[in-house]
Amino acid sequence: MNEAFGFEHFWTQADTLIRADAYLLFAMSVVSWFLIFMKTWGGWRARHVMRALDAFWAAGSLDDAVATLRSRDPDALLAPLAAGAAALSSTFAAPERAGAARWTRPDDQLVRVLREGIAKATARLEAGLTVLASIGATAPFIGLLGTVWGIYHALINIASSGSLSIDKVAGPVGEALIMTAMGLGVAIPAVLAYNTFARANRLVVLQIDGFARDLHAALCPGAASPG
């Protein structure tokens, strides 16, 4: 007797573990695609901010430059660095009026501000990448768990029926492999997106670091650049 096999048949025969496994993969897929869209949008805005650097350096004063950058930097990648440097600009001329300790030099204070800004910008750029990497690494194994569990129950049912013909084995085992396919379907986009975003972030961080060095050189000529 012919029996229609497929995902619908597999789902009706699935137990609690298989269903929980499928729901987990679905949730991971939703989170993964949400992060992919958000990081894609964030990457576009980061590139837009980098194109605003020409307007920053062309501004008539440091305050005007900071205001220009703030208006084009909604993700606060470069603006905090420029704003922190502007806040310390008076320290360079009159360090005795600064709130920092007297034993610190103005250029050292600027280096700390710039390093903190770079660290915060890097953290914002990398937000969500750990989740994408985790999904890409674990989704295939979660799908494999569902496959193993499904094959186990399929073989138990076949053994209890007393029929071991190939047509009785191929259908249930093939259905169980659907879980592995689902796991790979979740993992592959997450891994590709993680690699793409990681490379794009490295390029943006290099530009942020270059901006910090240029800003330090402009405000503290002759001092060592922040490393």
pLDDT greater at residue 194 or residue 87: 194
The top-scoring range by mean pLDDT among 10-14, 30-34, 73-77, 213-217 is 30-34
pLDDT (0 to 100) of residue 225: 55
**For residue 72, which phi and psi values (nearest 5 degrees)?**
-115, 10
- The H or E element spanning position 182 is helix 166-219
Res 54: pLDDT: 80
Sign of the CA dihedral with 122 first, then 123, 127, and 131 last: positive
Query: Is residue 132 a contact partner of residue 32, using CB atoms and an 8 Å limit?
Result: yes
**pLDDT(88) > 80:** no
**Quick check: is 101 in a domain?**
yes
Is residue 225, in this structure, part of any structural domain at all?
A: no
* 54-60: long-range pairs with CB below 8 Å, 24+: 56/82
How many structural domains does the chain have? 1
Number of C-beta neighbours around residue 96 at 10 A: 6
Instruction: Looking at mean pLDDT, say which of 50-54, 78-82, 134-138 comes out highest.
Output: 134-138
What is the CA angle 44-48-50, rounded to 5?
Answer: 120
Can you give the residue range of the structural domain that contains 209?
7-219
Q: What percent of the chain lies above the pLDDT cut of 90?
A: 19
Residue 63 lies in a domain: yes
pTM for the whole thing? 0.75
pLDDT band at 97 (very low <50, low <70, confident <90, very high): very low
